Amino acid sequence: MSPDNLIDGRAIAELIHQETAQRIAALKTRGLQPGLVFVRVGEDPASQVYVGMKERVSSRLGIQSSTQVFSEKTTESELLKVIDRLNRDPKIHGILVQSPIPNHINSAAIYSAVSPDKDVDGFHPVNMGKLLLGDRTGFVPCTPAGVHELLIRSHVPIEGAEVVILGRGNIVGKPMAALLLQKARHANATITLCHSQSRNTAEHCRRADIIIAAIGVAGFLKADMVKPGATVIDVGVNRVADASAKAGTRLVGDVDFARVKPKAGKITPNPGGVGPMTIALLMANTVRAADQSLRN
């Protein structure tokens, strides 16, 4: 842990990478190299950066990875054909279709087409359903799984805790709630999920032992919304104007970090908190998918 109240996501992600690398080495002795394919549609600059980062970590850990890039104009049926081919390829254990997908494509149809056994993103309805039911044989979406690991490995008490989740998206808010409400060790929390139509969001936050901000509004969580000593996890990635920055913009989270930090018991920096954990859990999911392929 850091000397102050920061939760060091980079350091915790590195520990998980070491565990994953050991599992990869063990699979290699059995003649198997995990294979992961990224599918990227269009030229969203953020997606290019994210997929590039995921590819670099894959190759560092010994996962065979590649990216298939498709034009903004690709049709849904073309994409479904690609996914079908990847589903049948025995060398591929994980398939990740980077979000966002262009609007003319039905993203639910795409995520449903990925084989649940290769759905290392955990977006397939079968995996989402398993998560809700508490069936651990499914894949959990990487960002909520990463936040969960951050809390556990930072020794933040979760059982019985009041947790406020800001944001009800399918990638973070909803699966995060499903994960922490389970009748299970490191879960058993009381969950309040606030969203754009919620009344009294600030009041809910002030009661919380843990606040997980994934609402997509820069600096949304202010110091007066945080109980002294609460744990604050910032999932947000928002681009804001900054005349002093070279590019004229910079990335900030959903938390007013400078003012919330002195009040929080523990807090994630952003960057350097949740982001590295998302990648760590993607790698872990991929290795599990490869391992399970030996049993199918």
CB of 172 to ligand GUN, least distance (A): 8
| Catalytic residue (choose from 98, 119, 234, 254) | 98
Residue ranges in 89-240 assigned as alpha helix (H): 107-113, 125-133, 142-153, 173-180, 201-207
Going by DSSP bridges, is the β-strand pair 238-241/190-194 parallel, antiparallel, or unpaired? unpaired
* Residue 121 known to be catalytic: yes
CB of 91 to ligand GUN, least distance (A): 20
Angle made by CA atoms 252, 221, 158, in degrees to the nearest 5? 105
Smaller CB separation from ligand GUN, 56 or 207:
56
Smaller CB separation from ligand GUN, 101 or 151:
101
The two tokens of residue 142 are 């990487």
* Residue 209 known to be catalytic: no
Cα–Cα distance, 201 to 267 (Å, whole number): 19
CB of 123 to ligand GUN, least distance (A): 7
Task: Give the sheet arrangement for strand 35-41, strand by strand.
Answer: 64-70, 35-41, 94-97
Smaller CB separation from ligand GUN, 208 or 237:
237
Quickly tell me which residue has 């928002």 as its tokens: 238
CB of 99 to ligand GUN, least distance (A): 4
Smaller CB separation from ligand GUN, 67 or 188:
67
Residues that bind ligand GUN (CB under 6 A): 96-99, 121, 142-143, 171, 278
* Residue 54 known to be catalytic: yes
| Catalytic residue (choose from 121, 209, 234, 254) | 121
Cα–Cα distance, 249 to 123 (Å, whole number): 31
Q: Which residues are catalytic?
A: 54, 98, 121
